[in-house]
Chains A and B, each alone.
Chain A
Amino acid sequence: MPSNPVDIYVNELISSHGISVEAARSRASALYALDLDMPVWRQYISYLGNLIQGNMGQSIRSPGVRVSTIIRARLPWTLFTVGSGLIISTILGIVLGTISAFKRDKWYEPIITGSASIISAIPDFLIGIFLIIFFGIITWFGMDRPLLPIQSMRGTHTMGLSIDDGFTYIRDIFAHGMFPIITYVLAQIGMWVLLMKGSTTSTLKKEYVKLAEARGLSNTKIMSKYVARNAFLPIATEFAMRMGFILGGSLIIEQLFVYEGLGLELLNAVHGRDYPVMQGILLIITACIVFSNLFAELIYGALDPRTRRGE
C-alpha cells in the first residue's frame, strides 16, 4: 500500500506515462514544492508550512493551476447553495416549529410534526433523487412533459452568462441552484421544525414563564422576552454548528445535480487521484468547521449569560 501521496503520484507517473524515475520525481517535486530527497516527515512538515502560508501546491490533473485558484473558483457556488439552503430552512423551520408548539390542538399540528420527523430521517441525496423524479422525470397526468426541464438546469449557470449580464445572470444562477437549494432546505427543515418545537414547548413549561404570567406581564412581553429568547438558544448554537458543515455537506448533492461546487471538485479530485486538490479542499472544509465552532461559542456566550466566564 503506498505510504504517501507523493510516492503514489510518482509511481503513477512512472507506470501510466512511462516517464523515468528521475523525471517523475522532479515533476512531483515541482508540483508539491517539495524537496523529495528530504526524509518524508520533513517533506510533510514543509508541505504543512507551505499550507500555512496559503500555498496549497498545484493540481495534478491540470498542471500549472494552483489549488487555491481552483478552490476560489468553486467555493462561491457551494457557499451560495448550501448557505441559502441553511438560511431558508432555518427560517421556515423556526416559523413552522413555533406554530406547531403553540397550536398543539389544531388538526394541522400532527401533519407538520409528522412530516418533519419523516423528512428529517431521509438522507439528503435521496431527497434530491425524489425531487428529480417528481419534477424532472415523471410526466404528470394531463401534461405533455415533466414540470421542469431538469437537463438544462444542471451546472451552476448557463455557459456564456456572467455577472455583467445583471438580472438575467442572477435569475440564471437561481434557476440552476434551485434544485440543490430545495434539496438542502428539505433535508434540514424537519430537524429545525422539531428542534424549534421541542425547545419552545419546553420553554413554555419553565417556571420563569409561569411566573411572568403570574406577574401580569402582557402576552407579547412574555413571548418576546421570556419565551423566544430562551427557546432560541439551541437554534442559535445548532445554526452556528451547521455553518461549519456548509462546505462538507455538499458532495453527493453536487454530484447529483452536476453542480460544479467544492464537493464535486473534491469528488473529481478523488477519481483523478489529484492529491493536492483533495488535501486542499479537505483543509478548507475542516477550517470552516473549526471556525464555526469558535463562532458557536461566541454566539452562545453573547446570548446566554450562564456560559460567560469570569465576573
Chain B
Amino acid sequence: MVSTQYLFKKFKVGLKAMLSDKIGVLGISILLIIILLSAISPYIFPLQSRADPTQIFQPPSGENWLGTDHMGRDIWPQIANGGRGLLLLAFITASISVMIGIFLGTAAPLIGGKFDEILLFFADVWLTIPRFPLLVVLSGFFNLTSYVLALVLAILSWAGLFRSIRAEVLSLKEREYVEAAKMLDLSMIHVIFKEITPNMMPFIIMNFTLMMRHAIYAQVGLFFLGLLPLEVNWGVMLNIAWAQGAIYHPDALWFILAPAIAISLLILSLVWINRSLENLFNPVLRTDHDD
C-alpha cells in the first residue's frame, strides 16, 4: 500500500539520482536562481520608474550591470523582476491543467462506457485546435488578464495529459493492487488518489514541466505581440524593444538580448529538468512493444 512515507522515500531516492545528473542539476540551479531573484528583487533590485534621457541605451557598467533601456532606465532590475509574473502564471496554468488532466484521465477509464468515449473524442478534437492562433484571436475579443489567460491556457492544453493518463490508468487498472483495493471495498476516489496517482507521479511531474514550458511560450508570445496588458516582464521587454525599433538599433543590443537570454534560460532549465526526470523514470515508464 502506498503511504506518504513511501512517497517521501521515493522522492528522496529520485532527488539523489537527479543530483547525480549534471544536466538535471544545471536545470534545477537555473530555475532556483530565477525563483530566488523573483522573490528578493522587489526589495534588493527595485524597479526604476523615472526616465533619464541622458542615459539612453548605455552599455553595461558597474552601475548598470546590463546597460540601460530606451528611456535610460537600468535593465538589470527589469530582468531580475521580469520572470516572476511569467513563472507564477506558468505554474498556475500547469497546476490547473494537470488537475483537469488527472481528474478526467482517471475518471474516464474508471467510469468507462459512453462517458469515456465522449471524453476521448473531445480530447482528439481538442488536440487539433491551433492553440496559439486561437489565443491571438481570443485576445482580440477579450481582455485577457493573467488569471483568465492561465485558465484559458489550461483549458486549451488538458487533452494531451488526459490521453496519457487515461492510457496509464487503463493499464494500471488491470494490475493486482488496484484489484486488491477494490476487493477491500475502497471507494473509487480512494483508488484514484491513493493508488493510481502516486504511481503516475513521475509522469505527472514531467507533464507539469512541459505544460509550464508551453505556458511560458504562449505568454511571452502574446506579450511580444503586444496583445496582453503591459507589465514588467521579459516578454514585454521584448515587445518594447521591438516596438521602439530597438531591435534594429546596434546600441540597444543589451536591451533585447537580456530578456531573450533570460527567457531561453528559463525554458532550457525546464527542459533540462524534464530530461533528467525522464532519464530517471524511464525504466519505469518505458514501453517497448514490438507487436
Residues of A within 8 A of B (CB): 1-2, 5, 8, 117-118, 120-123, 125-126, 129-130, 132-133, 136-139, 150-151, 202, 206-208, 244-245, 247-249, 251-252, 255-256, 263, 266-267, 269-271, 273, 278, 281-282, 285-286, 289-290, 293, 306
B149 within 8 A of partner (CB): no
Between A and B, 22 residue pairs with Cβ closer than 8 Å are A2-B141, A5-B141, A117-B271, A118-B268, A122-B268, A123-B217, A129-B260, A133-B247, A137-B248, A202-B288, A206-B290, A244-B128, A249-B132, A252-B224, A263-B133, A267-B136, A267-B225, A270-B136, A271-B140, A282-B134, A282-B137, A290-B128
11 A-B pairs besides A117-B271, A123-B264 with CB distance below 8 A are A118-B268, A123-B221, A126-B263, A129-B256, A130-B260, A150-B248, A208-B290, A251-B225, A266-B137, A270-B227, A286-B129
State A146–B220 Cα separation when bound (angstroms). 28
A306 proximity list for chain B (CB < 8 A): 291
- Give Cα A255 to B247, complex, Å: 13
Among residues 29 to 76 in chain B, which have CB atoms less than 8 Å away from a CB atom of chain A?
none
> Within 8 Å of chain A (Cβ to Cβ): is B199?
no
Q: Which of A1, A273, A285 contacts B142 (CB 8 A)?
A: A1
Q: Considering the chains assembled together, what is the distance between the CA atoms of A183 and B178 in angstroms?
A: 49
Main secondary structure of the interface of A (DSSP, over half): helix
Asked if A126 and B264 make an inter-chain contact with CB atoms under 8 angstroms apart, the answer reads yes
The chain B residues found within 8 Å of chain A, CB to CB, are: 128-130, 132-134, 136-137, 139-142, 213, 217, 220-221, 224-225, 227, 238, 242, 247-250, 253, 256-257, 260, 263-264, 267-268, 271, 275, 288, 290-291
**Contact between chains at B263 and A123 (CB < 8 Å):** yes
Which residue of chain A lies nearest to B291 when distances are taken between CB atoms in the complex? A306
Q: How far is the CA of A285 from the CA of B268 in the complex (A)?
A: 29
Query: Knowing A118-B268, A125-B224, A138-B250 touch, does A286 contact B130 (C-beta < 8 A)?
Result: yes
Please give the distance in Å from A242's CB to the nearest CB on chain B: 13
Name the CB-closest residue of B to A120: B271
Are B225 and A121 in contact (CB-based, < 8 A)? no
Q: Given contacts A270-B227, A289-B128, are A278 and B137 in contact (CB under 8 A)? A: yes
Do A286 and B140 contact each other (CB < 8 Å), given the known contacts A138-B253, A150-B248, A207-B290? no
Q: Is the interface of B mostly helix, strand, loop or mixed?
A: helix
Partner of A273 from the list B140, B267, B268 (CB cut-off 8 Å) is B140
Bound-state CA distance A303–B141 (Å) is 43
Residues of B contacting A139 in the complex (Cβ-Cβ under 8 angstroms): 250
B130 x A121 contact (CB < 8 A):
no
Task: Give the chain A neighbours of B220 by CB distance below 8 A.
Answer: 123
List of B residues within 8 angstroms of A293 by Cβ: 128
Residue of A nearest to B249 (CB): A137
Q: Give chain B residues whose Cβ lies under 8 Å from the Cβ of A136.
A: 248
- Contact: A285 with B263, CB < 8 Å? no
- Contact (A286, B128) CB under 8 Å given A267-B136, A270-B140, A306-B291: yes
CB of B202, distance to nearest CB on chain A (Å): 19
Give the docked Cα–Cα distance between A129 and B253 (Å): 11
Q: How far is the CB of B277 from chain A (nearest CB, A)?
A: 14
Interface centre among A138, A207, A255 (most CB of B within 10 A): A255
Given contacts A1-B142, A121-B267, A278-B140, contact A252 B248 (CB under 8 A): no
Residues on A with beta carbons closer than 8 Å to the beta carbon of B268 = 118, 121-122
Most buried by B among A117, A137, A150: A137
- Residues in chain B near residue A269, CB distance under 8 A: 140
Known contacts A129-B247, A252-B225, A293-B128; A123 and B136 CB within 8 A of each other: no
Q: List, in ascending order, chain A residues with CB within 8 A of B250's CB.
A: 137-139
Give B279 Cβ to nearest chain A Cβ, in Å: 12
Least CB distance, B224 to chain A, in whole angstroms: 6
Q: B128 near A251 (CB under 8 angstroms)?
A: no
Residue of B128, B142, B253, B290 most packed against chain A (CB within 10 A): B128
- With A255-B225, A282-B130 known as contacts, the answer to whether A126 contacts B137 (CB < 8 A) is no
Q: Are B132 and A133 in contact (CB under 8 A)?
A: no
B136 to chain A, nearest CB (A): 6
Contact yes or no, B128 A125, CB < 8 A: no
Q: What's the nearest-Cβ distance from chain B to residue A198, in Å?
A: 11
Evaluate contact between B253 and A137: CB separation under 8 angstroms: yes
A288 to chain B, nearest CB (A): 8
The reply to whether B133 and A285 form a contact with Cβ atoms under 8 Å apart is: yes
Closest to A126 in B: B260
Minimum C-beta distance from B244 to chain A (A): 14
Taken together as a complex, chains A and B put the C-alpha atoms of A120 and B136 apart, in Å, by 23
For residue A209, give the distance in angstroms from its CB to the closest CB of chain B: 11
Residue from A138, A256, A270 having most chain B Cβ neighbours under 10 A: A270
Q: Which residue of A lies closest to B257 (CB)?
A: A133
Q: Which residues of A contact B249 (CB under 8 A)?
A: 137
A-side contacts of B130, CB under 8 Å: 245, 247-248, 282, 285-286, 289
A251 and B238 contact, CB distance less than 8 A: no
Nearest CB of chain A from residue B141's CB, rounded to whole Å? 8
Nearest-CB distance from B32 to chain A (Å)?
Answer: 18
Q: Which B residues are in CB contact (< 8 Å) with A207?
A: 290
